[in-house]
Amino acid sequence: MQLIKCLGTLSIYHGICSASTVTIDPKSQLQVIDGFGISQAFGRASQFKALAQGPQQKGLDYLFNTTTGAGLSIIRNRIGSGSNSADSIEPNSPGSPNAKPTYIWDGDDEGQVWFSQEAMGYGYLHYYNQTGIPITHVGFLNEPDGSDFMLSDAAQAASMIPILHSTLEIEGFGHVKMTCCDNIGWNSQKAYTKNLTKAGMDEYLSVITSHMYSSDATTPMDTNLTTWITEAADLTNPWCTTWYSTGSLCEGFTWAVKLAEGIVNAGLSAYLYWEGVEVSQQQAASYLVLSDGTDVYPSGRLWAMAHWSRYIRPGAHRVATTGTVPNTIIGAFVNTDSSLVTVLTNSGGIAQNVELDLPGASSDNVFAVVTDQSSQMAPLDMNVSNGIVSVSVPAYGVITVKSEGTVAGGSSNIASPSKINIATPSSTAISSSSSVSRARSSSAIPSSSRAVSKSAQNSSAMPGKVQASTASACEAPIPSQVHHNHHGHHSHH
């Protein structure tokens, strides 16, 4: 009973129970962070584009602004295929495998070109390149383990990977990195990846990609390649803005935990939710921001993402920590501008007091934000003394602590990420096939003065500093990456 009393008062009176101490080791580098992002596939980009200027700009800010929004840096675009000329790169069958195909490029790509350009301002490889949107990654499968129009086992994938690699080289896209394979769930992709490695495919591939629908990324993939979650969403519930109530898949905190488990426990370098903004789709929660045609409304899922994406910028390194906090996942990162970011996610029913030992931290260069059921990205009070930052992580809450320029040298020895664009065939909602699929690509988009300069993409903004980077045409960190995927004819809702 005495323990219960002590814990029960912890969230109100700091220090009544001893705080947990966590030490950050900036020199012990783990995986590089490529970014966080979304898609606007299946015509959602065109619907977004058709909004009035007010809600349109507000929606873009929620997604890409690094001061008031999530600061997302990857856009995943779809490469359509099939008989619909308005939604296909190759609407007419060439007749045989050896016949020359006729590609159709309308310069709009269901609004995805506009969306990518907007993200850059705050493919396919040839076509996107002509519009100033460089593609940096390319893949050819999407949910090969379950999509009836793009079924492919690892052996079949391995027969195609060297061909695609050679084609990229011949076409002058040897710099574009190849990804594979967007399986429906993490566990399925683990088995698939093991077989690809046995077949010698690591020499051609740069990134292993997966979705999270049948299983989440909670433990590392057995691979030396970078790993991304390229599609994740609530495909079950209607729209909600709830942060935490019952642990529903719609709630923001559910995704806060998924992100923490993925980045920290599974060692992911990128995490993408399915869609960004949708118009009048209140029956679904497979996107982050809702517009009713007049205004836009952020979800708790957006703020879960923002705790990571606003402050941890492309090119950052995750670094080691020592010390544990009950029910709390701790992730620490050094950006290329030498700033140090720590994200703490508390899945327990009581608050946790934490002392962070941050090299060089002082009251002049440290700030923190918190999200729980009553606050969204709100400034958090803390004590800073002799490099120790004392904070309280609320129950079912997330806090992000950022100290500016406190790590000597930071990760400045790491080259800033190049623009990433990905072209990947996939079937409509999540699978891909060579001829019929929902293609998605990610690309990093250089930002302009409005969306923030390229250098801004590699830093995390403090209040008052605006940065935005986006990726388009595939999956990639924005201003530096774009990822393309090929999809067929089904959507998630």
**What is the dihedral sign for C-alpha 484, 488, 489, 493?**
negative
Tell me the average pLDDT of the chain: 81
- Which phi and psi angles does 154 have, rounded to 5°? -65, -35
Residue 207 CA from chain centroid, whole number: 14
What integer pLDDT is reported at residue 70 of this predicted model? Answer: 97
Largest CA distance in the chain: 78
Burial 354-376 (b: 16+ CB within 10 A, else e): bbbbbebbeeebbbbbbbbbeeb
Better-predicted residue by pLDDT, 30 or 361: 30
> In which band, very low, low, confident or very high, does the pLDDT at 61 lie, cut at 50, 70 and 90?
very high
pLDDT score of 59 more than 70: yes
d(CA 492, CA 150): 16
Q: Please tell me the predicted confidence (pLDDT) of residue 485.
A: 62
**Any idea where the domains of the chain sit in the sequence?**
18-30+317-403, 36-93+104-316+417-487
For strand 317-322 and strand 74-78, is the pairing parallel, antiparallel, or unpaired?
unpaired
pLDDT at 484: 59
Return the CATH fold of 18-30+317-403: Immunoglobulin-like (2.60.40)
Cα–Cα dist 312/458, whole Å:
8
Judge whether residue 251 has pLDDT over 60.
yes
| pLDDT band, very low/low/confident/very high, at 492 (cuts 50, 70, 90) | low
Q: Between these two residues, 445 and 209, which has the higher pLDDT value?
A: 209
**Looking at the predicted structure, is the pLDDT value of residue 443 above 60?**
no
Instruction: Give me the amino acid identity at 490.
Output: H
- Per-residue confidence at 474, pLDDT binned at 50, 70, 90? very low
Give the pLDDT band (50/70/90) at residue 121: confident
Confidence of residue 375 (pLDDT cuts 50, 70, 90): very high
Q: What is the pLDDT of residue 250?
A: 98
Identify whether the C-beta of residue 118 lies closer than 8 Å to the C-beta of residue 60. Answer: yes
C-beta of residue 275 within 8 angstroms of C-beta of residue 115: no
Nearest to 304 by CA among 271, 338, 339: 271
- Is pLDDT of 488 > 80? no
Q: Class of the 36-93+104-316+417-487 domain? A: alpha beta
200-233 pLDDT, tens digit per residue, is 999 999 999 999 999 999 999 999 999 999 999 9
- Between CA 236 and CA 234 the distance in angstroms is 6
Q: How far apart are CA 103 and CA 90, in angstroms?
A: 5
At residue 436, the pLDDT reads: 25
Q: Give the per-residue pLDDT at 406.
A: 67
Give the residue from 8, 17, 52, 18 showing the smallest Cα distance to 291. 52
pLDDT digits (tens, 9 = 90+) for 6-24: 333 333 334 435 789 999 9
Query: Average of pLDDT values for 250-277?
Result: 99
Q: What is the pLDDT of residue 83?
A: 72
Low-confidence winner among 66-80, 113-127, 291-305, 390-404 (lowest mean pLDDT): 113-127
Contact 383/353 with Cβ under 8 angstroms?
A: no
